[in-house]
Amino acid sequence: MKKQILLCMLALGMLSSCGSVTSDESSAVETVKTEVNDADRETIFQVSLLQGLTLGDYYGSVTVKELKQHGDIGIGTFEGVNGELIMVDGVVYRALSDGSVETAPDDETIPFSNVTFFDADEKQDISGISNIAELKGILDEKVEKLGRNRFYMVRIDGSFNNVHARSELKQQEPYKPLAEALKTDQREFKWDKIDGTVVALYCPEYMNDLNAVGWHMHFISADKTKGGHLLDIDIDTAELKTDCTLGFNMLLPNTKMFPGLDLTVDQSDDIKKVETKD
Ligand SMILES: [Zn+2]
């Protein structure tokens, strides 16, 4: 990462103070600290802008190995949008265009991702959630309560009645804008009665030019054989854990395409198109 620029967008000083948002003592979660310092643990690390990816900058700028130094949970994609990235428990998985999952090699490169070290500030049991809109409703309520101007990484482990996810075919150069590529190369999957984990990132409203505002969710099955970008979900029972994060670090990519991208163009519509099923 020598030639790349690390931007510290927000102050890192208020470590663990998100812990104070836990309203119910019984839901507090004991966290196990590793050797990673607190500033890194309480930071969302972002590779590039989603708006760079949507314009077609699919060139990888950090390796899987480097990404793991910045978190143990997260979402993203790979060079050439070669599948959906899901990181859980420190392992980086790739959901391929057929919905199957493999472990990503350490030297694979990544054009866009968000990761953090997961320290749950609170947890909650949920059940009988019949679709993603309902799930987002519950998560939005949580954000309203905890503060909408912070970042949240959420982990949902449970049994699901149905999961609807997508991945995409690896793109070839010259790269097309993502919305255009997905028109022909998106592949969707539906799995019934499946156990697994949803990793969800919440970005506040002021991130509108840098990422997708609101929730972005990826799924991986408990046996790590199926996964993708989450389009819809029917939850039987699950445990939802929330990690409130006060820091934000963004790495501008050192790719050949990035310096020339016109990032002044409003891409809200395209981002909505690539993030949701409608
Ligand atoms: Zn995604």
Residue-wise DSSP of 100-147: BEEEPPTT-EESEEEEE----SEEEEEEEE-SHHHHHHHHHHHHHHH-
Task: Specify the length of the chain in residues.
Answer: 278
Instruction: Report the separation in Å between the CA atom of 26 and the middle of ligand 1, taken as the mean of its atom positions.
Output: 33
Mean residue pLDDT of the chain comes to 89
Q: State the distance from the centre of ligand 1 to the C-alpha of 77, rounded, in angstroms.
A: 7
For residue 154, the surrounding DSSP H or E stretch is strand 151-168
Nearest to 74 by CA among 111, 114, 34, 36: 114
Percent of the chain predicted with pLDDT > 70: 86
- Could you give phi then psi for residue 154, rounded to 5 degrees? -120, 140
Q: Are 103 and 82 in contact (CB under 8 A)?
A: no
List pLDDT tens digits, range 60-114. Answer: 999 999 999 999 999 999 999 999 999 999 999 999 999 999 999 999 999 999 9
Peptide bond into 204 cis (omega under 30): no
* 184 Cα–ligand 1 center, Å: 17
- Predicted TM-score (pTM) above 0.85: yes
Distance separating alpha carbons of residues 76 and 63, to the nearest angstrom: 12
Tell me the CATH class for 5-262. Answer: alpha beta
Ramachandran region of residue 137, left (φ > 0), alpha (ψ -120 to 50) or beta?
Answer: alpha
CA of 84 to the centre of ligand 1 (A): 6
**Spatial separation of the C-alpha atoms in residues 87 and 230, rounded to whole Å:** 14
Instruction: State in Å: Cα 55 to ligand 1 middle.
Output: 15
25 CA to centre of ligand 1 in angstroms = 33
Give me the tens of pLDDT residue by residue for the chain, a chain 278 residues long. Answer: 444 444 444 433 344 446 544 444 444 555 444 456 776 789 999 999 999 999 999 999 999 999 999 999 999 999 999 999 999 999 999 999 999 999 999 999 999 999 999 999 999 999 999 999 999 999 999 999 999 999 999 999 999 999 999 999 999 999 999 999 999 999 999 999 999 999 999 999 999 999 999 999 999 999 999 999 999 999 999 999 999 999 999 999 999 999 999 999 888 888 888 888 75
